[in-house]
Amino acid sequence: MDFSHILLLIVAGFAAGAVNAIAGGGSLITFPSLLATGLPSVGANVTNSVSVFPGYVSSVAGSRTDLAGQGARVRAVLPAGVAGSVAGCALLLATPGRVFELVVPFLVLAAAATLAFQERLRGLVGHPRSMPPRRAAVTLQVVVFAGSVYGGYFGAALGVMYVAALALILDEPLKRINALKNVLSATVGLVTVLVFALFADVRWGAVATLAPATVAGGYAGARVARRLPARVLKYLIVTFGTGIGLVLLYRAVA
């Protein structure tokens, strides 16, 4: 890599770390940046997945105040997060990705729409407070597992999808849901690091450039997210999700 590529990755990494902490979707910044340095698409995808993991960890550190009292919930969903992540990584390494590339934009757009119309959807599925505990627990496991499969495979807008789904089934302020999303994203990230380091062609020079920048951006973004009013945070997540979905759709059909 030349100096311009290094500078591009530093800027992209910081921006992606911040976006992941606030709303999710930072991979849409780093993935094209890795392509711009000359990496092939699969190599860029696995390198990106490894690179953004430290940013997820710093996002957890930045939002730790909003994780207070959620320890039991986190421990309950971690096995589903790990299992889903492994399944997603296996799909990426073992199957052609064209069909999934066509489906992903619609999943992202659906996630953004779910969050945008959250209150209306709650009227249809019921408020979390009225949901039987067993049903809520099972639904939470399913949501975490499905999101982790997606995250292990590609991961762009994983945070948007998690926040949208979790907001329907958890009776929590959006800031606390966002903090839980950061933990789940970090779990997916850890699994992808381990799997791809062993079985994929990771470009470690690019990782060494991107990773520190995502750490700085992730911590800064998480601190910003804690200070945003719930309505503003929701607006940002919906906007990011819609934009990401449209870009992915354009790339898929272009």
Instruction: Give the pLDDT confidence of 211-247 residue by residue, as tens digits.
Output: 999 889 888 888 887 777 867 877 877 888 788 889 8
Structural domain of 103: 3-253
Query: Taking a C-beta distance cutoff of 8 angstroms, is the pair 141, 78 a contact?
Result: no
pLDDT at 46 exceeding the cut of 80: yes
Handedness of CA 90, 92, 93, 94 (dihedral sign): positive
Give CA–CA dist 71/114, Å, rounded.
26
> Which of 184, 189, 191, 192 is closest to 63 using CA atoms?
184
DSSP state letters, the chain: --HHHHHHHHHHHHHHHHHHHHTS-THHHHHHHHHHTT--HHHHHHHHHHHHHHHHHHHHHHTGGGGTT-HHHHHHHHHHHHHHHHHHHHHHHHS--HHHHHHHHHHHHHHHHHHHTHHHHHHHH--GGGS-HHHHHHHHHHHHHHHHHHHHHT-TTHHHHHHHHHHHH--S-HHHHHHHHHHHHHHHHHHHHHHHHHHS---HHHHHHHHHHHHHHHHHHHHHHHHS-HHHHHHHHHHHHHHHHHHHHHHHH-
Least-confidence region, from 40-49, 187-196, 202-211, 228-237: 228-237
Q: What is the mean pLDDT of residues 119-138?
A: 76
Which position has the higher pLDDT, 46 or 236? 46
- For the chain, the domain total comes to 1
Q: pLDDT averaged over the chain?
A: 86
> Which of 223, 77, 227, 224 is closest to 162 using CA atoms?
77
What pLDDT shows up at residue 80? 97
What pLDDT shows up at residue 123? 67
Q: In whole angstroms, how far apart are CA 57 and each of 35, 190, 234?
A: 24, 9, 22
Residue 28: pLDDT band by 50, 70, 90 thresholds?
A: confident
Give CA–CA dist 205/225, Å, rounded.
30
Which position has the higher pLDDT, 17 or 180? 180
Among residues of the chain, what percentage have pLDDT more than 90? Answer: 33
Tally of residues, the chain: 254
pLDDT at 66 exceeding the cut of 70: yes
What pLDDT shows up at residue 124? 63
Residue 251: pLDDT band by 50, 70, 90 thresholds?
A: confident
Q: What is the mean pLDDT of residues 55-68?
A: 88
Instruction: Convert the pLDDT of each residue in 69-116 to its tens digit.
Output: 999 999 999 999 999 999 999 998 888 777 777 887 888 888 788 778
Query: Taking a C-beta distance cutoff of 8 angstroms, is the pair 177, 167 a contact?
Result: yes
What pLDDT shows up at residue 140? 93
Give CA–CA dist 13/32, Å, rounded.
11
